[in-house]
Chains A and B, each alone.
Chain A
Amino acid sequence: MIWSLFLILTCIFIVFGIIGIYRFKDLYCRMLSSSLLDTAAVMTLIIALIIRSGFNSVSLKLMVILAFVMLTGPINNHVISRSAYLNDIDVTKHGGDRK
């Protein structure tokens, strides 16, 4: 029942990702903690489903979906943080390295 362990791990990632979104107080930290949901949780979920279904056409489709998610998932994270950065939202209150 290794797939149920993976599903539990997915739940842990989702719970902590959402806690992180509420716990951190500035935009960039929230973006960073939501990327935990975006990649790690989705990846673990799809791996769990692949193990659950065994080797057949469903797992092949799931692998294609996993590759698609891994290629396109980071782009929305990147675009939101990039637009925040280009609109001069401060990275830290102490001031960090700026361009």
Chain B
Amino acid sequence: MIKRFNFSRFIRCIKNSYQLFIMLFLGWLLLTLDFSYIEMLVGIVVCFFLAALTNYIYQPVSPVSRYFPGLIVLIPYLTRLIFEIYKSSFSMIIRIIRNDNEPAVSMVKLSISNPLSIALVANSITLTPGTITIDTDGSTLYVLAIKAMSEQDKSIVESSVRSFEAFFKRK
């Protein structure tokens, strides 16, 4: 059934989604880097409709900014992430040459509870080649790894998850 378009609700949605609009517009400005009137006007129109329409679908539970980690957390985290990506890329290349693969899913229970941190940890696990987060259940992650059949290999996977988790624990 198609919902009838409600104008007052549409206006309320726009009021709620001004943060999203600002972020989208900043992204537009960064990607175009063109400050002529016509570009700005097109950007404002596109971002306005995107923000309004997306907010109509997704209602945020609470503002993301409350969860967002600061620069003190982000910089060491990103350094660690890039290091881990290259480390596991090279070990992945060796695995491909030797053709040794024993994929298995291991369950890792995190001790953090806020949704953005869990999403960031899951995302960084998927970013490192050789491991993919398959499923989450609350704060439990199901991690698929290229070599995780034996207990020893499972503990290696778990320790790499814990190293990412450690950045987001509240001190």
Contact = CB atoms under 8 A, between A and B. Distances in A.
Interface of A: 12-13, 16, 19-20, 23-24, 26, 28-29, 31-33, 35-36, 39-40, 43, 57, 60-61, 64, 70-71, 73-75, 77-78, 81-82, 85-86, 91-92, 94, 96-99
Contacts of B135: 82, 85-86, 99
Chief secondary structure at chain B's binding surface: mixed
A91 B132 CA distance: 13
Interface of B: 27, 30-31, 33, 82, 85-86, 89, 92-93, 96-97, 99, 101-107, 122-123, 126-135, 142, 144-146, 148-149
A39 B144 contact: no
B142 to A, nearest CB: 7
B129 A36 contact: yes
Contact of A96 (B85, B104, B146): B104
A40 B89 contact: yes
Given A24-B99, A61-B31, A99-B135, A33 B92 contact: yes
Contacts, number: 112
Nearest to B86: A40
Give 6 nearest A-B pairs by CB, closest first.
A74-B126, A96-B104, A20-B96, A40-B89, A36-B129, A28-B103
Given A16-B96, A43-B85, A81-B144, A35 B132 contact: yes
Contact of A74 (B33, B107, B123, B148): B123
17 contacts: A23-B96, A24-B99, A28-B144, A32-B144, A32-B146, A33-B92, A40-B85, A40-B86, A74-B123, A77-B126, A78-B122, A78-B126, A78-B134, A85-B135, A91-B144, A92-B149, A99-B142
A74 B125 CA distance: 9
A28 B133 CA distance: 12
Of B92, B131, B149, which is in contact with the most chain A CB atoms at under 10 Å from its CB?
A: B92
B103 A29 contact: yes
